[in-house]
Amino acid sequence: MAEIKVGPLESMLQGDGTYGSYGGAYIPPVLEEKLNKLSDFFEQEVRKGDFQKEFVKLLKQYVGRPSPLYLAKRLSDYVGSTIYLKREDLNHTGAHKINNCLGQILLAKRMGAKEIIAETGAGQHGVATATAAALMGISCKVFMGEIDAERQALNVRRMELLGAEVVTTSLGSRTLKDAVDAALGYYIENPDAFYLLGSQVGPHPYPKIVGYFQSVIGNEARQQILEEEGRLPDSIFAAVGGGSNAIGLFSGFLADKSVKIYGGEGGGSGTYPNTAATLSFGKPTVFQGTNSYCLVDEEGNPIPSHSIAAGLDYPGISPQHAYLKDTGRAQYAPITDAEAVEAYKLLSRLEGITPAIESSHAVAYAIKELKDKKALAIVNLSGRGDKDVEREDI
């Protein structure tokens, strides 16, 4: 068996952070200077051999990469297609988020940052960031809405155990959007802080940075399926919140026109406005620093999203996914809360693998799309589902 090459895709370094009419940086002048500096530093640093060496070493020794590409036989028989699962749930800390956190923390360290700051909703990005900060010995503040901090008490404890300080905000709806605003405010006032962003959202250069670091997923998956099956898959599937695990997988196959690409959004109840399916129900809008789709009301103002999956519960979306949707290269559909819960239970029983409720959206989409197709497919299992076991609504 050929050795799988671990690392990000060079192709993700192309471009200036615009994706058709989407992307860019819609930010106040005080942020412009900082983000230009970050962009320049990123472009130089990641092209250096010693950066790549350090990143790849961490991915292998600390995260446990490459993550397996697993042929799910009983699921395949049930569906009537050949389905492989890309096992990001087996990464250290239990999801794909650590890939991006390690890449960004290496940038932070090399930029001489004295402090890492991050925002978190459910606490998953906060825990991954606190983990990376502990690993590097850099102090860490995680901003959280008050309501989220109450709902996610276990993750607050985990972050504190890892040495991070959790800063709660009582502004606005006291959830993720307000945590982002609080973190941005702190970032503007503290020149030695590095803002470690958790998904493929926000102003340039973040979508490019996050997309690049997560491309380790698709780079491996493409090598692995060729090794196992001797051909490319007919289709690939991922859950889409902000879009980082999805772009991670998709990036490996964007140039392979024969591969169909599907993103499952947090559909909530399945109808607007009780949904987090931004690409399905949103409109192109400038929101939190970037131009992309966003869930809005009749006046065009952003509205809160609703999904059973905290990791998908965001009214914005990656500008690259907006572009992939408009150009038809990828298709996106809402997967309802009920469909995700069914897939969560089904995969547990058929394979002995409990997926995160977020990842269950990808599994549910694949089951619908692949029924009796006899197709070859990859589903990105973005995280493990232990965190969801005790929930009464699941």
Ligand X SMILES: *Cc1c(COP(=O)(O)O)cnc(C)c1O
Name the residues that contact ligand X, by CB under 6 A.
Answer: 95, 97, 124, 199, 239-246, 311-312, 356, 358-359, 382-383
CB 381 to ligand X: min, Å: 8
Of the two residues 82 and 336, which places its CB atom closer to ligand X in the complex?
336
CA–CA distance, 229 with 241 (Å, rounded to integer): 30
Which tokens hold the place of 287? 């929101």
Strand partners, 334: 265
3-state secondary structure string across 182-247: HHHHHHHHCCCEEECCCCCCCCCCHHHHHHHHHCHHHHHHHHHHHHHHCCCCCEEEEEECCCHHHH
Peptide bond preceding 191: is omega within 30 degrees of 0, i.e. cis?
A: no
CB-count burial class (<10 Å; 0-12, 13-18, 19+) for 29: exposed
Q: Which amino acid makes up residue 271?
A: T
- Give DSSP secondary structure letters for 246-291: HHHHHTTTTT-TTSEEEEEEEEETSSTTS---HHHH-EEEEETTEE
Residue 229 C-beta: closest distance to ligand X, Å? 25
Q: Is 48 a catalytic residue?
A: no
Which residues neighbour 76 within 8 Å (Cβ) at sequence distance 6 or greater?
Answer: 82, 83
Q: Which of 76, 86, 119, 280 is catalytic?
A: 119
Between 76 and 380, CB nearer to ligand X: 380
Q: Which is nearer to ligand X, 362 or 376 (CB)?
A: 362
Which residue in the shown chain puts its C-beta closest to ligand X? 383
Selecting among 220, 339, 382, 387, the annotated active-site residue is: 382
Q: How far is the CB of 139 from ligand X (least distance, A)?
A: 24
66 or 198: CB nearest ligand X:
198
Catalytic residue check, 5: no
Decide if 76 is catalytic: no
Smaller CB separation from ligand X, 67 or 245: 245
- Residues carrying an active site annotation: 97, 119, 382
